[in-house]
């Protein structure tokens, strides 16, 4: 019997069937790579293994690595700042909001993606997103301190102090003498 005209086409299942990788699969894999190895760790060949797809799949969704890094940064910004600010604003009492903020973002271990991005804050792809995130967070804190009754200049100073504490707190990690809870810090920052 002659072979069919498309004899290279398989008529049965492949033994190594891969799931179809979505744009979000690639983007999330890029975030994991950033957490593990920094922005430089986002390499298409490495990610093909993580995603279980081919380079062709990558190029179906992205024109190049820079576009993937930008998509990953935007996802990180959305999930770690843009979507969290309205959650914080939903807490009406500013003192309760400050406590909730500390419980949500200060007490858990540092986000390894954020640590990696802070180290790469001068990277041309990272810089604008990281600056926007910092500005949004500080603006949120400033508004909170104004609602607590601080004058403009005092609110600015406390917002920077609170954000600086956040960065330093996570950079230090679990060192001896680290407070078990942050209640006293909240009291110090929240006092009018």
Q: Which CATH architecture has domain 23-71?
A: Orthogonal Bundle (1.10)
Distance CA 134, CA 162 (A): 12
Distance CA 137, CA 130 (A): 11
pTM of the model: 0.83
Domain ranges of the chain: 23-71, 83-190
Q: What is the DSSP string of 11-35?
A: SS--TTPPPPPPHHHHHHHHHHHHH
What is the dihedral sign for C-alpha 169, 170, 175, 180?
Answer: positive
Distance CA 159, CA 128 (A): 20
pLDDT (tens place) for every residue of the chain, 192 residues total: 444 443 333 343 433 445 689 999 999 999 999 999 999 999 999 999 999 999 999 999 999 999 999 999 999 999 999 999 999 999 999 999 998 988 888 778 888 999 999 999 999 999 999 999 999 999 999 999 999 999 999 999 999 999 998 888 777 777 787 776 677 777 777 775
């Amino acid at each position: 019997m002659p072979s069919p005209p498309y004899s290279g086409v398989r008529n049965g299942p492949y033994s190594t069937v891969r799931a179809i990788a979505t744009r979000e699969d690639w983007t999330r894999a890029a975030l994991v790579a950033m957490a593990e190895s920094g922005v430089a760790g986002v390499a298409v060949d490495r990610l093909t293994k993580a995603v279980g797809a081919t380079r062709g799949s990558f190029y179906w969704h992205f024109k190049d690595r820079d576009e993937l890094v930008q998509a990953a940064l935007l996802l990180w910004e959305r999930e770690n700042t843009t979507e969290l600010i309205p959650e914080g604003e939903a807490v009406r009492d500013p003192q309760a909001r400050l406590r909730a903020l500390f419980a949500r973002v200060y007490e858990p271990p540092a986000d390894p993606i954020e640590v990696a991005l802070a180290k790469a804050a001068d990277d041309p792809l990272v810089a604008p997103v990281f600056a926007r995130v910092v500005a949004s967070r500080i603006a949120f804190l400033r508004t909170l301190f104004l609602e607590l009754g601080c004058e403009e200049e005092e609110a600015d100073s406390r917002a920077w102090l609170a954000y600086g504490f956040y960065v330093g707190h996570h950079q230090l990690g679990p060192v001896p003498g680290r407070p078990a809870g942050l209640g006293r810090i909240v009291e110090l920052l929240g006092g009018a």
